[in-house]
Structure 1
Amino acid sequence: MKLPQYNPAIDNPALTEEDMDELDELLSCITADDAITDMESLDGYLTALLLAPALPDANVWIPRVWGSDDPEKAPFGSGKQTKKVAQSVLRHLASIDRQLRADPDGLEPLFGIAEVEAEDSEEIQEIVDAELWCIGFLQGTAMAPDYWNRVFDDAELADALTPIVLLGTDPETLTPQQQELVGSPEGRDTLSRQVPEAITELARHPMRSPDSTRP
């Protein structure tokens, strides 16, 4: 099966809330290792793909959503359902791409939100948690290793990426100080709120050539 390539000139309407719920449910049923099993992770994965100068071939990056290197080995009931999932993923990719092109500051990543009771009062606070988004983002960077290795070697950009790396990395690989930071809701909230600024910096940095080979 040849999966559809992304073409920004084609009208790809944004997913509705109902569409997102349906896609999220389909993703949640995938059991393969390294699969993307929720909309938050998918949103991060697609954002990383778009922040690189070029998209890989659709037959390469789309199967990675379901944890495969082979477009013929999709874990869905039929080729028709596989195509529907691919088209939904492309529609969401297009939505992110339009926003990144028009105004990166206006991008609203799909982060988790939890309500917790404040320690020093009975007030309910909203805690932002971008862990799943960051895990997906780092999966996306693996699709363009040459480019992202240069980004991580750039001191300025590496610093901007720190919140994403801390939230998206296995805590066991972090230092005790870093583990303490990501281990508290307040610390995760602080890091999560820094992620949109990092996306904007990555989108506008000269390293991401304006003469992009991305369609």
Structure 2
Amino acid sequence: MISPQNLGTPLSSDELLRLEDFLVSSRTSDNAMSIDMLDGYLTAVAVGPDTLLPDQWLPYVWGLEDDAPPEFASEDEAGEIMGLLLRHMNSIVRLFIENPDSFLPLYERCSFEEESDRDLAAESWAYAFAMGIELSRESWRPLFDDDEAYGLLLPIFIVGGIGDEWDRIGDDETGEWRDALPEAVVGIYEYWVARQAEDGE
């Protein structure tokens, strides 16, 4: 059982592999998130304007609304996987509270055999970040309506291939936007922190 004391401990490489193996196993839906999607999705939840409970974000980890829930081999496995999910979520939250400038998406902390694999991981990450926004789209609206701050979302939309307007962007330019993505996510976090501070005055 996971104690409250280590719920914010980042997952080790082995634990990330364990979680990834379960997400892509035959015991989850074909629409379940990959580990890169999960990281992008939970990052959006962590840096966004609302505090969302697990029962608000967890269902989409397993797929679409009409997909079957995961099949756990036992209660112990269910507890293990849920613990890994919660720890990964909480570790992202903790990082942004303690040292946001150190943030890197998961795909930037991994090695890939082919550059095309990294590109796909980055696209999956950014696409899932946008899915996280949709969980509380109305609360995110001030950022969309802010002409200056809206630019923080562009690396996510371009890297994630969200919207037809990015179809003509070449690989080199997409790579530049990918490089800009971590700083943009930190900017999004700081945007909401500043707004919440203003609202608290």
8 A contact 1:127–1:189 mirrored in 2: no
- Asked if 1:148 is matched to 2:140, the reply is yes
- Give the letter for the 1:56 counterpart: L
**SS class of match (2:10):** coil
**2:20 aligned residue (24, 31, 35):** 24
Rounded Cα–Cα distance in structure 1 between residues aligned with 2:43 and 2:195: 14
1:138 maps to which of 130, 143, 153: 130
8 Å contact kept, 1:41–1:132: yes
More helix by share: 2
For residue 126 of structure 1, report the CA deviation from its aligned partner.
9.8
Aligned counterparts of 2:106 and 2:175: Cα–Cα separation in 1: 14
Q: Is the 8 Å Cα contact of residues 74 and 82 (structure 1) preserved in structure 2? A: no
Q: Secondary structure at the match of 2:196?
A: coil
Distance 1:48 1:10 in 2: 24
Distance in 1 (alpha carbons) for counterparts of 2:95 and 2:85: 16
Q: Which residue of 1 aligns with 2:58?
A: 62
CA contact (8 A) 1:50 1:97 kept: yes
- Does the CA-based 8 Å contact 2:29-2:70 persist in structure 1? no
Q: Select 2:158's aligned residue among 158, 166, 175.
A: 166
Counterparts of 1:208 and 1:86, CA distance in 2: 32
- Structure 1 vs Structure 2 CA RMSD: 3.1
Q: Which runs of 5+ in 1 are unaligned?
A: 117-124
Counterpart residue type for residue 102 of structure 2: G
% identical equivalent positions:
27
State the match for 1:202 in structure 2.
188
Preserved CA contact (<8 Å) 2:159 2:174:
yes
Q: 2:6 aligns with which of 6, 11, 28?
A: 11
Residues 169 and 57 from structure 1, CA distance in 2 versus in 1: closer, same or farther, beyond 3 angstroms? same
Q: Please report the TM-score for the alignment, with normalisation by the length of structure 2.
A: 0.79
SS, match of residue 155 in structure 1? coil
Following the alignment from structure 1 to structure 2, what is the Cα–Cα distance between the partners of residues 114 and 200? 24
Q: Residues of 2 paired with 1:61 and 1:89: CA distance?
A: 11
Match of 1:103 among 75, 99, 102: 99
Q: Answer yes or no: is the 8 Å Cα contact 1:68–1:74 preserved in 2.
A: no
TM-score normalised by L of structure 1:
0.75
Q: Counting strand residues as a fraction of each chain, which structure ranks higher?
A: 1
1:57-106 Cα deviation digits (max 9, x unpaired): 22221122112559x93343344433322210111112211110112111
Consecutive unaligned residues in structure 2, runs of 5 or more: none
- Whichever residue aligns with residue 164 of structure 2, its letter is L
1:69–1:83 CA distance, 2 compared to 1 (3 A): farther
Aligned positions of 1:87-98 closer than 5 A? 87-98=83-94
Query: Structure 1 pair 134/208, CA: closer, same or farther in 2 (3 Å)?
Result: farther
Alignment partner, residue 38 of structure 2: 42
Q: Distance in 2 between matches of 1:210 and 1:93?
A: 23
Deviations 1:24-78 (A, max 9, x none): 1111123354x31x221111111100112332222221122112559x9334334
Q: Secondary structure at the match of 1:187?
A: helix
CA contact (8 A) 2:161 2:167 kept: no
Moved more, 190-199 or 200-209: 200-209
